[in-house]
A and B are shown apart, each in its own frame.
Chain A
Amino acid sequence: MRGKTRNVGIYVILLIFAFFFLLPVYMLLATSFKPLVEIGMGTMWLLPKQPSLEGFTDSIQRLSPNLWNSFLLVIPATIFSCLLGSINGYIFSKIRFPGINLLFLFVLFGMFIPYQSILFPLIQFLQKTQLYGTIWGLIITHVIYGLPITSLIFRNYYMEVPDEMLEAAGIDGAGLFKSYFLILFPLSIPGFVVAVIWQFTNIWNEFLFAVTITSDPKKQPITVALVNLAGSQMIQWNLQMAGAIVAAIPTLLVYIFLGKYFIRGLMSGSVKG
């Protein structure tokens, strides 16, 4: 009996928290499904009388080139950085030589720096190599600055694979590459899922590189386009809110369907050895 009343108390507190967490979501949905004529302060918190997809069709029309840019950026950047991370993670977890932990630290520090501290030289570099303002410039940037986190995710993952499995292959005469491709790589699918999700989400959501490396609105990723849309359409809140949903959908889908792996990536970001 006592346990039951306690559970009721717990539900009440959880529901209060959930209410406040979902209040902005309610506002977001209520606004984005309103036709422009219903956008007014008095009706802001009411559900739309005549739900409309106006905001969505309009924002998709404006944002679709940028959505496409984001996909063109995210897919290659994610694939390259995960492949490199896997190889690095293999060496950092399985090959022991003096100073290797120090080298790992050397790499790892790169994921914590404020990117402002490398931004100006990076842009000068991209200008010199004709990559400034291009999607490829952004891809290379994300692959490079993604190396620390992907190496970390795979290192943590491969730490769990017993050394004996690799050594058994070593006795058979398999070399470093062979034991990686024959034994470790096939075991790596869960590791790849975590790293791919992590990189996909982060690169999709990233803003600082996107806004400073691309200046042509046609080449900008979705996050920059969303900020510009919000800045230029002060009245059409339905358009802005629908745009926010459109920008969020790819990562939200990943979260909904692969949430378990998303959380695992979240945890490995806190470095545990």
Chain B
Amino acid sequence: MYRKKKWLGFLIISPTLAVIGIFVYGFIGATVRASLSDWNSFKKLLSGEFVYTGLRNYERLFADWRFQTDMWNTLFFTVFFLFGCLLIGLILASLLDRPLKGGRVFQSIFLFPMALSLVVTGTVWRWFFAPGILPNDPAGINVLLGQIGLKSLQWNWFTVTDTIGPFNLALIPVIIAAVWQLSGYTMAMYLAGLRAIPESMTEAARVDGANAWQTFWKVKWPFLRPITLSAMIILGHISLKIFDLVYSMTGSGPKNVTDMPSIYMFEKTFRSNRYAEGSAIAVIMLLMVAVVIIPYLISTLKKSD
């Protein structure tokens, strides 16, 4: 009886397993294969001939100044984006974790950007941070800054080519837009975590004379630590593959100041027909995401057993 059920169960999910097997793993295999080929023109692709070129496409990429810039941009974008979302999410959740008149309204304000398309966000923030032609012809936020007497803060936002070391300052507006969209997510995660803490524990800490700071670190933080890790991984994997927002907000920018691997991959594959190099970028993106995601998936599912 039970044995029959197990076989039937397996049978029911087998189409899904097959489809995922082909469309996820099989296609990843095909992309890896393409990345090792010489399909760097439409003619070569059309010939259907597979010429193995080893890691030549990867070598070319890592020697490519634009791709190096992309990797630095991804690194800095990810670090600041994560930091911003976690910090703002934690602050908002701590403030809202109490009976507060209008608390729900504030929550909705901070969370609604999550419902928007990254493309909508990109379009709106592009107009917001459009620098105009400084100093005489400002646009976007620069207009407002000029009108309220903060002319000194006018700045070329996402078109500046200034850097601090390898960090392109033009990324700052993009990071602000991304934090605006996703810090509501961390707020919701932290809020759920804070509400799961038994009141008796915070009460006990208060009775023992702990101040707010001590209560936070000694009582609340142990509950919030695993949430922080989850949020870091979910947001981190989003930022490693970010495309829509940057594509619609700034594109590559002057001197690739806001370029990302995803944009370079898109242009290589769909604009210049360099399929093999485009595939190599895709494989590198996959590896970056896999390093973050696989250990996380294994550990969460182990815990649930």
Contacts and interface: CB of A to CB of B under 8 A. Distances in A.
A71 interface: no
B28 A113 contact: yes
Contacts of B118: 205, 207
Nearest to A87: B12
Contacts of B140: 44
B188 A267 contact: yes
A236 to B, nearest CB: 11
Contacts of A88: 12-13, 16
Interface string B224-257: 0000001100100100110110011000000000
Contacts of A124: 30
A241 B92 CA distance: 28
Given A114-B289, A117-B286, A95 B120 contact: no
A118 B17 contact: no
Instruction: Name the prevailing secondary structure of the B interface residues.
Output: helix
Interface centre among B17, B21, B112, B281 (most CB of A within 10 A): B112
Contact of B10 (A7, A97, A226, A269): A97
Contact of A240 (B115, B127, B143): B127
Interface residues of B, number: 96
B275 interface: yes
Interface string A113-136: 110111111101100000000000
A223 B119 CA distance: 6
Given A107-B17, A114-B240, A270 B124 contact: no
A270 B234 contact: yes
Interface string A23-36: 11001100100000
Nearest to A113: B286
Contacts of B219: none
Contacts of B19: 144, 147
B116 interface: yes
B262 A116 contact: yes
A176 B9 contact: yes
B158 interface: no
B188 A118 contact: no
B300 interface: yes
Given A95-B5, A103-B17, A176-B9, A269 B234 contact: yes
A165 interface: no
B286 A10 contact: no
A84 B31 CA distance: 27
Interface centre among A107, A120, A267 (most CB of B within 10 A): A120
B293 A109 contact: yes
Interface string A68-111: 00000000000000001001100110011100010111111110
15 contacts: A13-B91, A45-B144, A88-B13, A91-B13, A97-B9, A106-B21, A108-B297, A116-B282, A120-B30, A120-B31, A175-B8, A205-B118, A227-B119, A247-B119, A259-B111
Interface of B: 5-6, 8-10, 12-13, 16-17, 19-21, 23-24, 26-28, 30-31, 34, 88, 91-92, 95-96, 98, 100, 106, 108-120, 122-128, 132, 137-140, 143-144, 147, 180, 185, 188-189, 192, 230-231, 234, 237, 240-241, 243-244, 247-248, 262, 265-266, 269-270, 275, 278-279, 281-283, 285-286, 289-290, 293-294, 296-298, 300-301, 303-305
